[in-house]
Amino acid sequence: MAIIVPICSSSKGNCTYVGDYDSGILIDAGCSFRAICKGLELNSLSIENVNGIFITHEHIDHIRGLNQLTKRTDIPIYASSMVKDYFIENKVLYKNDFLFSSTEQEIIINDEFQINAFHTPHDSVESVGYKILYENKKIGICTDLGAVTQEVRESLLGCEMILLESNYDSELLRTNTLYPYYLKKRISSNTGHLSNELSSEFLCELVENGATRIFLGHLSQENNTPNLAKKAAEKALKAIGAENGFDYILDIAPVMTSGVKLTV
């Protein structure tokens, strides 16, 4: 039985466990080492279950715990070729002995996990999402993208389990008086983040192509709410005849884990 467990998911920190109760991988390490271990423990897991950590890009909300992870464990770290070079040049990791590229070829972990990276349009050194094949189940993790490109679409269509970004509500972002114009423009650009509307639109394609277990993740705590993101998704999916709880199961990835998980 495959599980997907968001340890943390927001604009302030992102980390997701994929696997089962014996073996798994982490996508990103954007909260502290202590928080990652605690989140795993809350879900009857351990850092000892983790056989690889796959980084999407170099922004701090995706790598905050990496230094301590490489100090305290020998878990292999995988990142895109350009992010790997960034880590080395900027001394991000405590040690680079177990740092590898995730974009040069398919990665096989313990003869169980097949992991393929795909590029996402985001304002970073190099940003990727990951498609994981595990126990004949296709699982997709995709956050930090301003638009759904053809590469993203081709990579995720057919996945049964998905964690997809639904970062902001367009109206909340527009009326946010604390955000300057340049920041609003950056977030809503094609290399920024995915809005509830764009996420919901893509979800319709995903459900029509076999997605049955969905997490909405990387929600902005300033420009979104779980209720707005969920309502937007359910409304779009209802328009194509799909009902939550019948045709698919949808939940919101928590800011910090509270035992919420999806299984397939």
Q: Taking phi first (over 0 means left), then psi (-120 to 50 degrees means alpha), and beta for anything else, what does residue 139 get?
A: beta
User: For residue 40, what is the DSSP state?
Assistant: H
CA distance 194 to 170: 10
Provide the token pair at 191.
């290399």
Which 3 state secondary structure label does DSSP give 204? helix
Instruction: Please tell me the predicted confidence (pLDDT) of residue 1.
Output: 81
Helix (H) or strand (E) holding 10: strand 3-10
Instruction: Please tell me the predicted confidence (pLDDT) of residue 119.
Output: 98
Instruction: Please tell me the predicted confidence (pLDDT) of residue 71.
Output: 97
Cα separations (Å) of 27 from 129, 141, 169, 238? 9, 8, 25, 30
Provide the token pair at 14.
């992102």
CA distance 14 to 56: 10
What are the φ/ψ torsions at residue 60 (nearest 5 degrees)? -60, -30
As a whole number of Å, the end-to-end CA separation of the chain is 6
pLDDT in tens, the chain (264 residues): 889 999 999 999 999 999 999 999 999 999 999 999 999 999 999 999 999 999 999 999 999 999 999 999 999 999 999 999 999 999 999 999 999 999 999 999 999 999 999 999 999 999 999 999 998 999 999 999 999 999 999 999 999 999 999 999 999 999 999 999 999 999 999 999 999 999 999 999 999 999 999 999 999 999 999 999 999 999 999 999 999 999 999 999 998 865 555 555
Instruction: Please tell me the predicted confidence (pLDDT) of residue 260.
Output: 55
Kindly compute the dihedral angle of the four CA atoms of residues 88, 48, 211, 78, in this order, to the nearest 10 degrees.
10
Instruction: Please tell me the predicted confidence (pLDDT) of residue 256.
Output: 80
CA distance 189 to 175: 17
Instruction: Please tell me the predicted confidence (pLDDT) of residue 258.
Output: 55
Instruction: Please tell me the predicted confidence (pLDDT) of residue 189.
Output: 98
pTM confidence score: 0.96
Count of domains observed in the chain: 1
Provide the token pair at 124.
């970073």
Instruction: Please tell me the predicted confidence (pLDDT) of residue 261.
Output: 56
CATH number for the domain including 183?
Answer: 3.60.15.10
Instruction: Please tell me the predicted confidence (pLDDT) of residue 255.
Output: 86
Range of the domain at 110: 3-263
User: Which amino acid type is present at position 212?
Assistant: T
